[in-house]
Structure 1
Amino acid sequence: MGKNLEHQFSMLVREIRKEFVGNGPKEISTRFVGNWAISEMKGNLTNVEKFMINSEQGKQMVHEARTKMVKEIYKKPEVIEKFEALIGAKVLRLFSDINIEEDIAMTVFVFDESVDLKAK
């Protein structure tokens, strides 16, 4: 069941990203560690963003916009409720960042109880 719950979590992350960003990551994997769900996403940038990152100013703009936008998405109660319903625990906080050059994003969801035990 562990890999299945991680897969379901990854698919929910992709669904949320597609709904609010317009495209989801090409690859996504999630691992549960203690009360953390860690999602790694590859292939996040749009063609326009890939063009923009050819300059330092563009890199900075894309990084800032992506980071702020993702944090705003996860402030929405209807989004958080989907993750809490899937895991059966409350989301306490979230950390998110993207490496523009490598086109890899990481989001860490911190729950109020261990999620890796639920996945076993």
Structure 2
Amino acid sequence: MSKMVHEFNDIIRKLRKDLFGKGPERIHTVFAENMAISTLYGNLTPTEKFISQTADGKDMVHLARTKMIQEVYSVNLPEGLEKVVGAKLIHLFSDIKVKEDIAVSVFVFDKNITS
């Protein structure tokens, strides 16, 4: 894993730990052109796992996770994120499969990332 990928993953992990009380257990990030694509495994807290046992609970956890992440990045970009990749973040797409506890975030930057 390159130093850039490691630093990028650390920023993502810290933000989610601070935001939700638990960061992902594992993150796999690849850089492609002007994007960073991160797959995050083991995201949910025990409380979220309990809540998601019903259909309504699963929908609530999904909505909270996706909307909260997108709002946080749009209002308060994690410190160092743009510096690590040497580009400005212009879009973030994020989703989570609650049952499988796998999330994906696609970060789109204003120029290509060279690792």
Between the aligned partners of 2:53 and 2:76, the Cα distance in structure 1 is 36
CA distance in 1, matches of 2:56, 2:74: 27
Preserved CA contact (<8 Å) 1:7 1:29: no
TM-score normalised according to structure 2 size: 0.93
**Counterpart AA for 1:107:** S
Amino acid at match of 1:94: L
Q: Percent identity?
A: 46
1:74 corresponds in structure 2 to 73
Aligned residue number for residue 33 of structure 1: 32
Shift of 1:71: 0.7
Q: CA separation in 2, counterparts of 1:8 and 1:45? A: 22
Letter of the structure 2 residue corresponding to residue 86 of structure 1: V
Find the counterpart in structure 2 of residue 12 from structure 1: 11
Relative to the length of structure 1, the TM-score reads 0.90
Q: Deviations over 1:15-62 (max 9, x none)?
A: 111122221001111100110001110000010111111111111111
Classify 1:92/1:46 alpha carbon distance in 2 versus 1 (closer, same or farther; 3 Å): same
Aligned length: 115
Moved over 6 A (4+): none
Other-structure match for 2:91: 93
Alignment root-mean-square deviation, CA: 1.3
The amino acid across from 1:66 in the alignment is: R
Corresponding residue SS for 2:65: helix
Could you list the runs of 5+ residues in structure 2 that have no partner in the other structure?
none
| Gap runs ≥5 in structure 1 | none
How far off is 1:78 after superposition? 4.3
1:86 match: secondary structure: helix
